């Protein structure tokens, strides 16, 4: 072989190795697509440098870059947007972006908007040709129309502001989420993945709440004050029973308000209980037991009587309809509350909330709620048809706001809106009842289906004592409730389809 041939062969080998370095796992980094990616990366680096110069810190620049990358990832996958939304609901419900465009978007706005926005884009661009619906779709649309009418009609009762418009849009987006979720969860795999994320998200929220409650008050307060950079309130944010530092501290987690945290955890707790009891759970049974235990403990530490009774309603629903062995455990748990020395203060507070005993002497929260109920009913009677809207009360002697979901809906949307809400619930549980046989015979899907409906039962029970599931100030709890409702409908729909397929297979085999 000549020297020239050897040199030529070596050059060919070098070129091959060079080309190999520019390829990885079959991806050609010299392609036009990846050239664009390299250009975008260079642009991001330039943007990072500009932000460092403008703001004097790398942290602001890094935050923007991470936000851009996160937005790109989310917009490529609807499910990631939904996971991000669940994560924000559980861990950073009040976090806002460090921008002001006349209003300040929240992390939850971004996640929820991305999920619904990508869904709409798929429809507009023709990537999705049809929308899967369920019997609940029409009642949801009617409820949304009534809400819009009540909002417009009630603008004369208060000042219009961008914040009011944003909060009302958030409410509509959360309710409309039901339609999107039913369409998106077209198979069991998608539905199961979303519910898994909710289980772990609820467990994480409970873990944070317990940890903050265990830590010294000053340390917890300092940690929570770090979140002021994300729009959280500052100062002393630790909460106590009746706002009295001499009484027990109440768990707040990152939800700031103990009642809001309790209301949120009741949804996740009722969802988790069937998984802890099931032979075939979505997550390892040990995980389900730990998640359920942490959520129940965190609910107790909120000292929210409404949340305690609501989770009892959710567990009772599961026990009566499916897992009756829960009943003796429930009775034993309640008995321990009355017996253990360190739970006596909790029992006294619970009894005060359930009876008229000592209402007008020491239980200030119960006194306030009695007054709220009376004023709310008076306002509904004055404006019975469509309520007074969402901007304020037209009468100076009555105010808008009451610790009860049903009275809140009645105030803002009148008896027409309340009737539409009741219709949604009747359709939801009626649809579930008609398809209950499939789930009763399915070890895999029954715990998921039962847990979703138990969560709704818990939410409806919590609505008797608080307004966090229909309150524009607590977007995360509202979104959690309607998201679970959408998942419950999607589960029933998939069960109905599976039952039809099984029937068809039996008929074909004969």
One-character DSSP codes across 449-498 = HHHHHHHHHHHHHHTTT--TTS-TT-HHHHHHHHHHHHHHHHHHHHHHHH
What pLDDT was estimated at residue 316? 93
160 vs 26 pLDDT, higher one: 160
Instruction: Judge whether residue 462 has pLDDT over 80.
Output: yes
Predicted confidence (pLDDT) at residue 33 exceeds the cutoff of 70: no
Q: What does the pLDDT read at residue 371?
A: 74
Stronger pLDDT, 436 or 159, i.e. the higher one: 436
pTM of the predicted protein model: 0.84
Predicted confidence (pLDDT) per residue in 227-271, tens digit: 888 889 889 999 998 788 888 899 999 998 999 999 999 999 999
Model pLDDT for residues 140-168, shown as the tens digit of each residue = 999 999 999 999 999 888 878 888 888 99
Range of 27-36, 97-106, 189-198, 470-479 with top mean pLDDT = 189-198
User: What does the CA dihedral 30, 33, 34, 39 come to, rounded to 10 degrees?
Assistant: 110
Position 10 scores a pLDDT of: 43
Mean pLDDT across the chain, nearest whole number?
82
The answer to whether residue 116 scores a pLDDT higher than 70 is yes
Q: What is the pLDDT of residues 347-394, one digit of tens each?
A: 666 666 655 444 444 555 666 777 778 888 888 999 999 999 998 888
Q: Give residue 504's pLDDT band: very low, low, confident or very high (50, 70, 90).
A: confident
pLDDT at 203: 96
Distance CA 424, CA 176 (A): 13
Give percent of the chain above pLDDT 90.
48
Q: How many helices (H) and strands (E) does the chain have?
A: 19, 4
pLDDT at 366: 63
Specify the pLDDT at position 144. 96
The larger pLDDT score, comparing residue 325 to residue 428, is at 428
Query: Is the pLDDT higher at 332 or at 265?
Result: 265
Q: Which two tokens stand for residue 99?
A: 């921008």
Strand bridging mode 249-250 / 239-240: antiparallel
pLDDT of residue 483: 97
Q: Which of residues 55 and 264 earns the better pLDDT score?
A: 264
Residue written as token pair 């109920």: 373
Q: Kindly tell me if the per-residue pLDDT of 46 is higher than 80.
A: no
pLDDT, average across residues 388-416: 88
The predicted pLDDT at position 100 comes to 65
Predicted pLDDT at 472: 87
The b-or-e profile of 67-81 (16+ CB within 10 A means b, else e) is eeebeeebeeebbbb
pLDDT at 21: 39
CA 105 to chain centre: 17
Which of 236-245's residues contact partners 24+ apart within 8 Å by CB, and which partners?
241/303, 241/349, 242/364, 242/365
Residue 322 binned pLDDT confidence (cut-offs 50, 70, 90) = confident
Distance CA 296, CA 288 (A): 12
Q: Residue 429 above 70 pLDDT?
A: yes
CA 434-439-441 angle, 5° bins? 120
Mean pLDDT of 483-496: 96
451, 295 Cβ separation under 8 angstroms: no
Is residue 200 scored above 50 in pLDDT?
A: yes
Residue 30 pLDDT greater than 80, yes or no: no
pLDDT of residue 431: 97
% of the chain with per-residue pLDDT over 70: 79
Which range in 163-167, 180-184, 343-347 is most confidently predicted, on average pLDDT?
180-184
Q: What are the sequence ranges of the domains in the chain?
A: 28-76, 136-509
pLDDT value at residue 475: 92
């Amino acid at each position: 072989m000549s020297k020239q041939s050897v040199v030529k062969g070596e050059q060919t080998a070098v070129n091959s190795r060079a080309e190999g370095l520019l390829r990885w796992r079959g991806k050609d980094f010299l392609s036009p697509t990846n050239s664009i990616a390299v250009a975008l990366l260079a642009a991001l680096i330039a943007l990072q440098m500009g932000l460092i110069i403008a703001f004097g810190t790398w942290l602001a620049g890094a935050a923007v870059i991470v936000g851009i990358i996160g937005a790109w990832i989310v917009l490529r996958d609807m499910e990631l947007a939904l996971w991000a939304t669940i994560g924000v609901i559980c861990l950073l419900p009040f976090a806002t972006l460090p921008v002001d465009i006349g209003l300040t978007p929240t992390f939850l706005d971004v996640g929820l908007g991305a999920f619904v926005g990508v869904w709409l884009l798929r429809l507009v661009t023709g990537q999705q040709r049809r929308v899967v619906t369920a019997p609940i779709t029409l009642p949801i649309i009617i409820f949304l129309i009534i809400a819009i009418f009540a909002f417009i009609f009630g603008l004369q009762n208060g000042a219009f502001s961008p914040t009011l418009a944003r909060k009302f849009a958030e409410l509509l987006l959360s309710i409309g989420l039901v339609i999107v979720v039913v369409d998106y969860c077209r198979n069991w795999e998608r539905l199961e993945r979303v519910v898994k994320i909710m289980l772990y998200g609820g467990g994480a929220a409970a873990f944070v709440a317990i940890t903050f409650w265990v830590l010294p008050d000053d340390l917890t307060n300092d940690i929570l004050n770090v979140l002021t950079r994300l729009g959280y309130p500052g100062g002393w944010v630790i909460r106590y029973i009746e706002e009295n530092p001499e009484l027990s501290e109440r768990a707040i987690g990152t939800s700031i308000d103990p009642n809001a945290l309790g209301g949120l955890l009741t949804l996740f707790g009722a969802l988790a209980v069937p998984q802890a009891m099931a032979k075939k759970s979505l997550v390892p049974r040990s995980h389900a037991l730990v998640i359920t235990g942490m959520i129940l403990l965190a609910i107790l530490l909120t000292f929210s009587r409404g949340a305690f009774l609501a989770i009892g309603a959710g567990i009772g629903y599961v026990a009566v309809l499916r897992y009756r062995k829960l009943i003796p455990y429930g009775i034993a748990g309640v008995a321990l509350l009355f017996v253990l020395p360190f739970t006596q203060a909790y029992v006294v507070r619970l009894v005060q909330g359930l009876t008229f005993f000592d209402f007008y002497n020491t239980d200030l929260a119960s006194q306030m709620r009695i007054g709220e109920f009376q004023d709310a009913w008076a306002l509904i009677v004055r404006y019975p048809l469509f309520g007074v809207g969402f901007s304020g009360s037209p009468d100076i002697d009555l105010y808008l706001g009451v610790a009860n979901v049903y009275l809140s809906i009645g105030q803002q949307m009148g008896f027409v809106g309340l009737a539409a809400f009741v219709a949604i619930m009747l359709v939801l549980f009626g649809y579930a009842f008609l398809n209950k046989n499939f789930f009763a015979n399915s070890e895999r899907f029954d715990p998921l289906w039962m847990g979703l409906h138990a969560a709704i039962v818990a939410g409806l029970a919590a609505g008797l004592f608080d307004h966090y599931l229909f309150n524009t100030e607590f977007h995360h709890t509202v979104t959690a409730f309607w998201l679970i409702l959408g998942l419950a409908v999607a589960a029933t729909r998939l069960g109905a389809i599976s039952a039809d397929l099984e029937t068809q297979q039996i008929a074909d085999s004969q």
